[in-house]
């Protein structure tokens, strides 16, 4: 009888890609994939370590797996493994420890454990490898959109972030390998791909002289794949937004006008303490450059409130800057102390109550800006990639996303299928932040 394996992912889109790649390796080896519930022979938890809370959730899921089946093999993989290997080695709930850049060996490591019945720890010094881990997918849990990992690692060392220590230095995937995967996904029916990585803007920086590739050249190559109609980009650093880069992507009609530019704070003194490599003025110029080339692009960002030492005046400066940019979406995070980072030992840690108040004010600003952005599409024709069905007041709607990544709904009619791309006119809102569209 085939062994049953259940997988659970914590964390980012890169982690999601990697667990799907592991799942497909296991399927090819004859394992049966089952839900994360009692009854599996093997439980694989792909962990996250971006915050102390993520560490705790990772431990909780590992212990939950062992409780569901004490006789099962419990496997810890991913970033928490990389950052706290010794703690996991001492945890009796865990049988197999697999660090980053070792997930490609999951089948062999499970076979070794089955043979020896001895705890195995396969963790390399991630900060000393230059190897890009060979993982790939032929399908994804999302039926209409495929996230493709093209890069790993980060060289930035922001003072609040543990990820460079868990993921290592910048390592890029070969352009030919990325294009081949996009072609396979296109043949499987996917129309939209999202290029993602730990620090996407650094793609190609590690390639040797004479063999350099840039993120722009990668996008240009993916653009040539037949069957793919939309290309999205994961989170970008502001400094990659140059006139050359913007003019380059603007000439590629498949690139969606939806850009996530990491900000973290709109206050220059806070940005300096964070070790971010730009100031608010430069960031604003990058947003203006995108708006010169694209008509109403969706600009989204991340903002941390309550960073150590953030005064009320500094928060006010950050708030006013976010307000001035007019983002479509602002993802707000209350600063979370992360052991092992410089920010964790900084003076003037901000009380949780103050962080909460600042977060609430930013969230209120976000809601207003999101509504303002969506309102401008009233009466306009938008393109929707159909993704899932929603029943509302007895009517069936197809829900999908516009090229700007706004959720939109159109009444289902005969001949409409998941993964179709349709054009329709925005008539109002079906629900908050879901456009209601009708036929042209």
> Who has greater pLDDT, 415 or 370?
370
pLDDT score of 206 more than 90: yes
pLDDT score of 10 more than 90: yes
Do residue 305 and residue 386 come from a single domain? no
Do residue 276 and residue 422 come from a single domain? no
CA-CA distance, 410 to 248, in Å (whole number)?
33
Please say which residue of 352, 375, 398 terminates a domain.
Answer: 375
CA-CA distance, 108 to 369, in Å (whole number)?
50
pLDDT single digits (tens) 107-143? 999 999 998 988 889 999 999 999 999 999 998 877 7
Do residue 154 and residue 285 come from a single domain? yes
CA-CA distance, 338 to 282, in Å (whole number)?
28
CATH number at residue 386: 2.40.50
Do residue 208 and residue 339 come from a single domain? yes
Residue 282 in contact with residue 240, Cβ under 8 Å?
Answer: no
> What are the strands of the beta sheet with 329-334, ordered from one edge?
258-260, 298-305, 329-334
Q: Examine residue 130 and state whether it is found in any structural domain, yes or no.
A: no
Please say which residue of 73, 95, 124 terminates a domain.
Answer: 124
pLDDT score of 365 more than 60: yes
Quote the DSSP letter at residue 127: G
> Who has greater pLDDT, 171 or 2?
171
Our count of domains for the chain comes to 3
Do residue 222 and residue 110 come from a single domain? no
What percent of the chain is modeled with pLDDT above 70?
Answer: 100
CA-CA distance, 384 to 410, in Å (whole number)?
9
The residue written with tokens 């990992």 in the block is 149
What count of other Cβ atoms lies within 10 Å of the Cβ of residue 337? 14
pLDDT score of 144 more than 70: yes
pLDDT single digits (tens) 327-338? 999 999 999 999
What pTM was computed for the model?
0.94
Do residue 171 and residue 301 come from a single domain? yes
pLDDT at 2: 83
pLDDT single digits (tens) 216-251? 999 999 999 999 999 999 999 999 999 999 999 999
Work out the pLDDT band at 210, boundaries 50, 70, 90.
Answer: confident
Residue 400 in contact with residue 144, Cβ under 8 Å?
Answer: yes
Give the burial string for 405-426 (b: 16+ CB within 10 Å, else e): bbbbbbbbeeeeeeeeebebeb
CATH number at residue 286: 3.80.30.20
- What are the DSSP calls for 143-174, one per residue? SSEEEEEEEE------TT--HHHHH-S-EE--
pLDDT at 440: 66
What count of other Cβ atoms lies within 10 Å of the Cβ of residue 427? 13
What count of other Cβ atoms lies within 10 Å of the Cβ of residue 252? 14
pLDDT single digits (tens) 247-303? 999 999 999 999 999 999 999 999 999 999 999 999 999 999 999 999 999 999 999
Do residue 62 and residue 84 come from a single domain? yes
Average pLDDT over residues 334-345: 94
Mean per-residue pLDDT over the chain, rounded? 95
CA-CA distance, 141 to 119, in Å (whole number)?
31
pLDDT single digits (tens) 173-205? 999 999 999 999 999 999 999 999 999 999 999
Please say which residue of 360, 375, 390 terminates a domain.
Answer: 375
Residue 369 in contact with residue 326, Cβ under 8 Å?
Answer: yes
Average pLDDT over residues 348-357: 98
Q: Which of 38, 26, 261, 8 shows the shortest CA–CA distance to 137?
A: 26
pLDDT at 392: 86
Residue 126 in contact with residue 82, Cβ under 8 Å?
Answer: yes
Q: Which domain holds residue 413?
A: 381-439
pLDDT at 1: 55
């Amino acid at each position: 009888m085939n062994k049953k394996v259940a997988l659970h992912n914590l964390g980012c889109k890169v982690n999601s890609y990697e667990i799907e790649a592991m799942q497909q390796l296991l399927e090819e080896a004859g394992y049966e994939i089952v839900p994360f519930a009692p009854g599996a022979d093997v439980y694989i938890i792909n962990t996250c370590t971006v915050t102390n809370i993520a560490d705790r959730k990772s431990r909780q899921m590992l212990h939950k797996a062992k409780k569901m089946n004490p006789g099962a093999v419990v496997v810890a993989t991913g970033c928490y493994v990389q950052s706290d290997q010794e703690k996991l080695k001492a945890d009796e709930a865990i049988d197999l420890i697999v660090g980053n850049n070792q997930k490609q060996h999951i089948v062999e490591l499970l076979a070794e454990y089955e043979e020896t019945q001895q705890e195995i720890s396969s963790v390399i010094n991630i900060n000393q490898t230059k190897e890009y881990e060979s993982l790939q997918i032929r399908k994804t849990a999302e039926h209409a959109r495929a996230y493709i990992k093209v890069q790993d690692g980060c060289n930035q060392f922001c003072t609040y972030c543990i990820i460079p220590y868990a993921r290592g230095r910048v390592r890029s995937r070969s352009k030919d390998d990325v294009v081949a995967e996009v072609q396979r996904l296109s043949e499987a029916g996917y129309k939209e791909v999202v290029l993602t990585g730990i620090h996407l803007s650094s793609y190609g920086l590690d390639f040797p002289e004479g063999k350099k590739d840039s993120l722009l050249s990668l996008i240009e190559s993916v653009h040539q794949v037949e069957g793919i109609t939309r290309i999205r980009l994961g989170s970008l650093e502001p400094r990659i937004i140059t006139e050359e880069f913007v003019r380059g992507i603007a000439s590629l009609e498949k690139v969606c006008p939806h850009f996530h530019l990491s900000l973290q704070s709109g206050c220059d003194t806070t940005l300096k303490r964070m070790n971010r490599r730009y100031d608010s003025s430069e960031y604003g110029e990058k947003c203006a450059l995108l708006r010169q080339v694209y008509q109403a692009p969706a600009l989204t960002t991340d903002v941390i409130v309550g960073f150590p030492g953030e005064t009320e005046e500094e928060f006010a400066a950050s708030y006013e800057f976010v307000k001035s940019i007019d983002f479509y979406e602002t993802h707000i995070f209350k600063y979370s102390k992360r052991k092992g980072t410089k920010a964790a030992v900084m003076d003037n840690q901000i009380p949780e109550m103050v962080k909460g108040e600042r977060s609430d004010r930013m969230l209120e600003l976000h809601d207003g800006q999101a509504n303002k952005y969506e309102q401008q599409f009233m009466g306009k024709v938008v393109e929707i990639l159909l993704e899932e069905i929603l029943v509302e007041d007895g009517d069936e709607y197809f829900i999908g996303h516009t090229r700007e990544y706004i959720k939109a709904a159109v009444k289902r009619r005969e001949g409409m299928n998941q993964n179709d791309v349709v054009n329709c006119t925005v008539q109002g809102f079906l629900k908050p932040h879901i456009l209601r569209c009708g036929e042209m």
